[in-house]
Structure 1
């Protein structure tokens, strides 16, 4: 073999070593990141929040379906509505292919034509869904309070305008608890 081919092989070996070192460093960083993620995800409060979000998402879908599939069709039977709430809209600016005799039949048709549309029916539907979810969660919280005697819904308290202390005495309670804790530490 000539000196040239040995030089090329030596260069190949050096770059291979460099690639191996970079790969090992990257692998260590990935393992470190994965371990950090597992430590974060395995905390009790993170798992509780994740479970709560999953349940809340499912609950919201059920209430939204109830509002849009059961309540609103009945409301749409009222004489002055005569169509589904999600199809109630007002055209603010007509599209280029607007026909004054036919108008637009659906929100999608108006938007596809480039019209500026105020889709107030969809907004009303979303507001009713929000109110349904809110009231149902409030009812569930009250039911939980009746069964468990644990007060999770608390009235809001106001602060004094002059000294900013709580008007319900909660700072006094906190100070008393801190004094008791300090006595136990001594």
Structure 2
């Protein structure tokens, strides 16, 4: 049975398919490289790694340094303080930890754990704010961007803005004082 293409006709077709496959692979690689290896993607990745390490340091500061003196007010760690809302299966049991209460089926209100997480959050926020303020002392570029509300549209904008990017009103008040831009046209009578 004769083939539809002779050997001399099928060779260029196979070579074109090979070139197309190589072109697709290199195109995908170039797209991935442009996406994953851009400067801002690498900066974000490094920032996330540093933030994770910084968070673990602050959590250790809270759990190992700050909370133990606070826990002296109770007989146990601050995170272990709870209130029993509903007794478990063994109604006469006394629970020393909320894990024991949960194992018995009791419903607990774990306010100590919440207070611990709240203290961690507050200290993390205060520490990050302090680092940002310290950085701004030595850098020309501020991390903390102060904002105000545009008097016309009430959107939050940069405190340094001369015009609102949302409604384009001037922030120096010239539109509200009866003036229209700097053309000399007055809207007052």
TM-score interval for Structure 1 and Structure 2 normalised by the shorter chain = 0.5 to 0.7
Counterpart of 2:55? 60
More helix by share: 1
- 1:88–1:119 contact (8 Å) kept in structure 2: yes
Stretches of structure 2 that go unaligned for 5 or more consecutive residues are: 1-20, 169-189
Could you tell me how far 1:152 is from its partner in structure 2? 2.0
- Note closer, same or farther for the CA distance 1:30–1:70 as it changes in structure 2 (3 Å cut): farther
SS at match of 2:59: helix
Q: Deviations over 1:72-116 (max 9, x none)?
A: 0011112xx2221010011111111232xx411101101111111
Q: Deviations over 1:16-57 (max 9, x none)?
A: xxxxxxxxx8xx988876654443211111111111111111
Q: Distance in 1 between matches of 2:28 and 2:108?
A: 48
Q: Distance in 2 between matches of 1:56 and 1:143?
A: 17
The answer to whether the aligner puts 1:82 opposite 2:59 as a matched pair is no
Stretches of structure 1 that go unaligned for 5 or more consecutive residues are: 1-24, 176-186
Q: For the aligned residues, what is the CA RMSD? A: 3.0
Counterpart of 2:174? none
Counterpart of 1:112? 103
More strand by share: 2
Could you tell me how far 1:171 is from its partner in structure 2? 4.7
Could you state the TM-score of these two structures normalised by the residue count of structure 1?
Answer: 0.67
Could you state the TM-score of these two structures normalised by the residue count of structure 2?
Answer: 0.66
SS at match of 1:45: helix
Equivalent in 79, 86, 101 of residue 93 of structure 1: 86
Alignment coverage as a number of residue pairs = 146
Counterpart of 1:121? 112
- Note closer, same or farther for the CA distance 1:151–1:115 as it changes in structure 2 (3 Å cut): same
Q: Distance in 2 between matches of 1:71 and 1:169?
A: 39
Equivalent in 37, 43, 60 of residue 42 of structure 1: 37
Q: Which has the higher contact order (CA 8 A, sep 6+)?
A: 1
- Note closer, same or farther for the CA distance 1:147–1:167 as it changes in structure 2 (3 Å cut): closer
SS at match of 2:130: helix
Counterpart of 2:13? none
- 2:147–2:159 contact (8 Å) kept in structure 1: no
